[in-house]
Amino acid sequence: MYTIETYTKTIPLTEYISKYVNSEKVGGYCKKCPNYGRNFACPPHNFELDNFFKKYDTIDLTLKKIIPSDELKNKEYTKQKEIEEAVKKTLGVEENIFRNELLKKEKLYRVSKVLAPPCNICGSFCMDKYDECQHPELMRYSIDSTCGDTGKILKELFDYGIKFIVNNEMPEYLTLLAGLMYQKDSKI
């Protein structure tokens, strides 16, 4: 169905914050998202970003480039919903695998935190259903939800762009981006 290429870049967290965290730009996108204020992993958060990043000095940014098979790319999708469902199936499976890989890596350091793919463990709009996160052991904030400029990271660090569904055609590739923040000297 698809193949995956994985790339990782390690940079100082201070560089990540200065180059790729943009509260105004990315925070503006978040406010337009239907998950804003309706998902425990999405803004508005009950913490300050500066404090969120404070404990860490390094970040490993990992890109999973998902390349659909020719069968998926050449399939004629007559409705937008059909292709969105095909993409969702692919990304949904890979997001869960990626999250689990990252959570294992998080345990390799005494001081670490994963910035995972967007959290959909409980489904959409989980704050409408629950008073508190049902899976705090699994939930992690995403790069986007902590104002990381995903498009800029992909372009500048990995030389890739974000591909979108256009005219009901499967994109050349799909991307999942995540980070592992840690203190270098806290490796177990």
pLDDT, mean of each 10-residue run, the chain (188 residues)? 96 98 91 89 89 96 96 86 85 90 95 88 86 91 95 98 88 95 95
pLDDT of residue 50: 87
As a dihedral over the C-alpha atoms of residue 182, residue 65, residue 5, residue 123, rounded to 10 degrees, the angle is 70
Distances (CA, A) of 102 to 62, 63, 144, 174: 10, 12, 17, 19
Question: What pLDDT, on the 0 to 100 scale, is given for residue 165?
Answer: 84
HSE-CB for 38 with a 13 A CA cutoff: 13
Residue 77: the pLDDT is 87
Give the C-alpha distances (Å, rounded to integers) separating 67 from 16, 23, 82, 93, 102: 27, 31, 18, 14, 21
Token pair for 103: 């959570």
**In this predicted structure, what is the pLDDT of residue 57?**
97
pLDDT value of position 8: 98
Reduced to 3 states (helix: H, G, I; strand: E, B; else coil), residue 73 is helix
Count how many domains the chain has: 1
**Residues 6 or more apart in contact with residue 122 via CB below 8 angstroms:** 129, 130, 133, 134, 135
8 A C-beta contact, residue 13 and residue 58? yes
DSSP H or E run through 153: helix 150-158
Q: Supply the pTM of this predicted model.
A: 0.92
Query: Euclidean distance between the first and final Cα of the chain, in Å?
Result: 37
Q: Which domain holds residue 175?
A: 2-186
Q: How confident is the model at residue 60, as a pLDDT? A: 98
